[in-house]
Amino acid sequence: MALSSSHLLGLEGVPASDIIKILDTAESLKPILDRPIPKVPTLRGITVVNLFFEPSTRTRISFELAEKRLSADTVNFSSTTSSVKKGETLRDTVRNIEAMKINMIVVRHSAAGVPYFLTRCTDATVINAGDGQHEHPTQALLDMMTLREKWGTLAGKKIAIIGDVKHSRVAGSNIRGLVTMGAKVVVCGPKTLMPPGIEELGATVSYNIDEAIAWADALNVLRIQLERQEAGLFPSIREYHAEFGITRDRLERAKKEIIIMHPGPINRGIELDSDVADSDASIILNQVTNGVAVRMAVLVLLSGMDSASD
């Protein structure tokens, strides 16, 4: 039942069969979270290091919970309280942690490619929890799980990813995964926040939010990082909201049911209005719950990799 790769670095090149395996396993694991004792002994004796070089609340907690629900031992590392401050290189940090006998590393870093780099300098299984503007595979997997729960399938469904596509690893992984699963993807946002060549991943570009809404079955609304405005990529928060903000008015004009997703944390009133975020169409909190289940599935499926060749 193992996956075709021994690490999860991104969704680029990951076959549909692997994605289906992860989502099916996650669905089987999800009911464990509601049990009186929400814990299974599967990863007893496995030590996982959560290596976070960038601030994160949701993803780190979600991974840590997933590890604990599976009875793994966990160690948390955050760059602000570590020897990285004293000038230690990434390679040395990882080699030292590995020398303490660990099995898996969950890594987040501001530089793209760090998870891949780690696979070159350790024997541990590496899971990418977000690298720079490159990929955030478990976020895309939990998004796909939540949509599949809602629809039963992803094939032929239309998902619009709205906002700062250029700086978003969530968009990167989502486009790759959704296209593999046979869904159609439109990316929509200001020209200054649209990366060149995004079509090569299989997405269609739109600069008109109302067109994108009219087309879509679901909107995945990305977080606008406020520092991008300081960098002059869009004129003002108010203008962004006016041009691309998801409001009740805009959705009502489409005259159909549209699912609303957001990877969090939300800037309420900027990329997404509060009444939309909290409406029945929003599956944002389902995404958070499914995040734990998806991460459990990834941990379980990668844990037996030493000998697995299924």
Partner 1 sequence: MICQKDLSMDQKIKATIIDTEGLERTLTRLAHEIIERNAGASNLAIIGIRTRGATLAERLVKKIETIEKKQVPYGVLDITLYRDDFRMRLKQPAVRATDIPFNIDEMDVILVDDVLYTGRTSRAALDALMDIGRPSSIQMAVLVDRGHRELPIQPDYVGKAIPTSIGEEVRVLLQENDDKDCVLLVEEPKEVV
Q: Which residues bind partner 1 (CB under 8 A)?
A: 1-2, 21, 24-25, 27-29, 31, 35-37, 39-42, 46, 70, 297, 300, 303-304, 306-310
Q: Return d(Cα 256, Cα 98) in angstroms, integer.
A: 52
Where do the H-state alpha helices sit in 30-136? 58-69, 90-99, 114-121
In the complex, minimum distance from the CB of residue 116 to partner 1, in angstroms, rounded to a whole number: 25
Question: What single-letter amino acid sits at 51?
Answer: L
In the complex with partner 1, which residue's Cβ is closer, 46 or 284?
Answer: 46
**Cα dihedral sign, 148-130-73-2:** positive
In the complex with partner 1, which residue's Cβ is closer, 13 or 31?
Answer: 31
Spell out the SS3 assignment of 56-84: CCHHHHHHHHHHHHCCCEEEEEEHHHCHH
Identify whether the C-beta of residue 131 lies closer than 8 Å to the C-beta of residue 107.
yes
In the complex, minimum distance from the CB of residue 304 to partner 1, in angstroms, rounded to a whole number: 5
* Those residues with Cβ within 8 angstroms of residue 249's Cβ, 6 or more apart along the chain or in another chain: none
List the beta strands (DSSP E) in 151-264.
158-162, 184-188, 204-206, 218-221, 259-261
In the complex, minimum distance from the CB of residue 284 to partner 1, in angstroms, rounded to a whole number: 24
In the complex, minimum distance from the CB of residue 34 to partner 1, in angstroms, rounded to a whole number: 11
> Helices then strands (H, E): number in the chain?
12, 9
Residues paired with 185 in a beta bridge: 159
In the complex, minimum distance from the CB of residue 266 to partner 1, in angstroms, rounded to a whole number: 31
**Hey, what are 237's tokens?**
């928060």
Q: Is 306 helix (H, G, I), strand (E, B) or coil?
A: coil
In the complex, minimum distance from the CB of residue 9 to partner 1, in angstroms, rounded to a whole number: 21
